[in-house]
């Protein structure tokens, strides 16, 4: 990018969109650029069904991929700042430690790394980072067998056959962190935030020139920055490249005494099952599954086609189904069973497994095949920049993410820009409905557990 655009419209006020808006305000290059962020927040930020809105999210540099480990380590430097006005202050970040484990016999093998390979590569990167920093403290404790992990956690279930504890990872209060980011963006005085639903992207010739809202009005801009998370596929045809997948979260009330015990426990994630537990906040314990997720095939009528030579036509792609859609109970029995298993395998024996649910919900990821994000100019349309594909691991990078996305915007993305580029994918029917059967995209980076390809509607029918 040789000259700064006069205006940028960011579609989406999640961690990708807001962090990018904040980063733009810090660049002298964009000093004269008007910046608008539009999202359907329903009157109050943050919206309850956003992927980055929750009581807790894992903050870790435990990645099999060295580039993500390095970037997460830089983000952690910001998370660890504990002043009231800092991101990690006022209880927003807790460094509890983090156990990564895996099973010797994988439950599901879907290409790429196995969970065990991912876990061991993550440990290698953690040890490398500590060595490069010249840190003297013990970076990690290795558990050589299931009994080691059971004894450390005080559990009787199956927490994994091998694992390690990284003392330097932890978790953050995601909702409060997003409120902090929103405050930073507002405080710049440079960003206009509009609460509205984007109906479709608007084009003129071969250029995307704005976004049409549900009330019929249009927001025009020189650059449209699409960062709508799992909803991005409803605006742009991303089939086979990015797909919305729903992931399970469950919450149970616990007593003061139970909370005292569990607050001193680390985050625990078994990469083979995808099940994980995060220390409690306000006497509420969260368990979840970082898996392949549920698919929700939906007919989309206004998605932007791949190029100006194609007409908009109805397509079928997975889309989020949340409370804003008027959805009632959309939590399958399979999900509840797996979360009960997490309470049994990863939490000390306190009869948690039979505790009634305080709340259950689905968190919608924007998944890619390899777990790498999609951050690049759209190859078929001028004026359209796409930033999505969080693949369930975008939030932890909140303090450094926007700068990296803006680097890609101006063509200076470097190694990360190469990882996140618009990649050619073969049309193998992935992310498409063929003869009435929907074949979902599968993320095969080794970090997922559970069963791939589950259709939300079908699982709900089984439940009933």
pLDDT of 63 above 60:
yes
What pLDDT does 463 receive?
84
Identify whether 271 is part of a domain. yes
What's the whole-number mean pLDDT along residues 217-231? 98
Q: Has residue 2 been placed in a domain? A: no
pLDDT tens-digit map of 72-105: 999 999 999 999 999 999 999 999 999 999 999 7
310: pLDDT strictly greater than 60: yes
Looking at per-residue pLDDT, the higher value among 290 and 329 belongs to 290
144 is a domain residue: yes
Residue 145 counted as domain residue: yes
**pLDDT at 108 exceeding the cut of 60:** no
Q: What is the mean pLDDT of residues 168-184?
A: 96
Integer Cα distance of 271 and 64 in angstroms: 12
User: Which residues are CB-neighbours of 346 under 8 A, at least 6 positions away?
Assistant: 153, 155, 157, 159, 268, 270, 275, 276, 277, 287
What is residue 18's three-state secondary structure?
helix
Model pTM score: 0.96
Q: Of 240, 243, 242, 237, nearest to 426 (Cα)?
A: 240
Angstrom distance (rounded) from CA 199 to CA 165: 46
pLDDT for 191 beyond 70: yes
Within a domain: residue 1?
Answer: no
Q: Which residue has the higher pLDDT, 173 or 436?
A: 173
pLDDT for res 110: 54
Q: Which of 293, 376, 364 is nearest to 323 (CA)?
A: 364
Number of domains comprising the chain: 1
Q: What's 345's domain CATH number?
A: 3.50.50.60
186 in a structural domain: yes
Q: What range does the domain containing 268 cover?
A: 7-462
Q: Residue 125 falls within a domain, yes or no?
A: yes
**384 inside domain:** yes
Listed ranges 97-111, 126-140, 148-162, 320-334; the one with the highest mean pLDDT: 148-162
> In the predicted model, what is the mean pLDDT of residues 223-228?
98
Rounded (to 5) percent helix, strand, coil in the chain: 30, 30, 45
């Amino acid at each position: 990018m040789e000259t700064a655009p006069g205006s940028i419209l960011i579609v989406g006020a999640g961690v990708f969109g807001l962090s990018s808006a904040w980063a733009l305000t810090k660049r002298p290059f964009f000093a004269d650029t008007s910046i608008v962020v539009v999202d359907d927040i329903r009157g109050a930020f943050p919206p309850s069904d956003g992927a980055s809105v929750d009581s807790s999210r894992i903050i870790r540099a435990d990645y099999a991929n060295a580039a993500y480990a390095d970037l997460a380590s830089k983000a952690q430097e910001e998370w660890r700042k504990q002043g009231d006005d800092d991101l990690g202050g006022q209880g927003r970040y807790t460094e509890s430690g983090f156990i990564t484990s895996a099973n010797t016999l994988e439950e599901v093998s879907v290409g790429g790394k196995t969970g065990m390979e991912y876990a061991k590569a993550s440990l290698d990167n953690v040890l490398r980072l500590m060595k490069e920093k010249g840190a003297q403290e013990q970076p990690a404790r290795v558990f050589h067998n299931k009994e080691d992990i059971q004894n450390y956690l005080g559990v009787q279930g199956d927490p994994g056959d091998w694992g390690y504890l990284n003392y330097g990872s932890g978790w953050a209060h995601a909702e409060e962190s997003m409120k902090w980011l929103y405050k930073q963006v507002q405080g710049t005085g440079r960003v206009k935030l509009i609460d509205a639903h984007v109906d479709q992207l608007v084009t003129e010739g071969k250029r995307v020139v704005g976004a049409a809202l549900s009330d019929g009005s249009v927001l025009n801009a020189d650059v449209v920055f699409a960062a709508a998370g799992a909803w991005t596929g409803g605006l742009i045809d991303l089939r086979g490249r990015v797909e919305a997948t729903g992931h399970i979260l469950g919450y149970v009330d616990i007593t003061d005494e139970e909370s005292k015990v569990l607050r001193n426990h680390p985050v625990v994630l078994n990469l083979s099952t995808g099940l994980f537990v995060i220390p409690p906040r306000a006497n509420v314990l969260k368990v979840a599954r970082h898996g392949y997720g549920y698919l929700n095939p939906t007919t989309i009528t206004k998605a932007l086609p791949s190029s100006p030579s194609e007409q908009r036509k109805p397509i079928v792609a997975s889309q989020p189904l949340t409370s804003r859609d008027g959805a009632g109970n959309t939590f399958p029995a399979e999900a509840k069973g797996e979360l009960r298993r997490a309470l049994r395998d990863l939490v000390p024996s306190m009869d948690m497994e039979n505790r009634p649910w305080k709340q259950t919900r689905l968190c919608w990821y924007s998944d890619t095949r390899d777990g790498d994000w999609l951050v690049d100019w759209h190859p078929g349309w001028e004026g359209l920049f796409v930033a999505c594909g969080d693949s369930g691991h975008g939030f932890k990078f909140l303090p450094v993410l926007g700068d990296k996305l803006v680097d890609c915007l101006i063509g200076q993305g470097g190694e990360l820009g190469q990882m996140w580029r618009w990649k050619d994918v073969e049309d193998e029917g992935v992310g498409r409905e063929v003869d009435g059967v929907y074949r979902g995209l599968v993320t095969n980076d080794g970090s997922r557990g559970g069963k791939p390809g589950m259709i939300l509607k079908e699982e709900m029918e089984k439940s009933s």
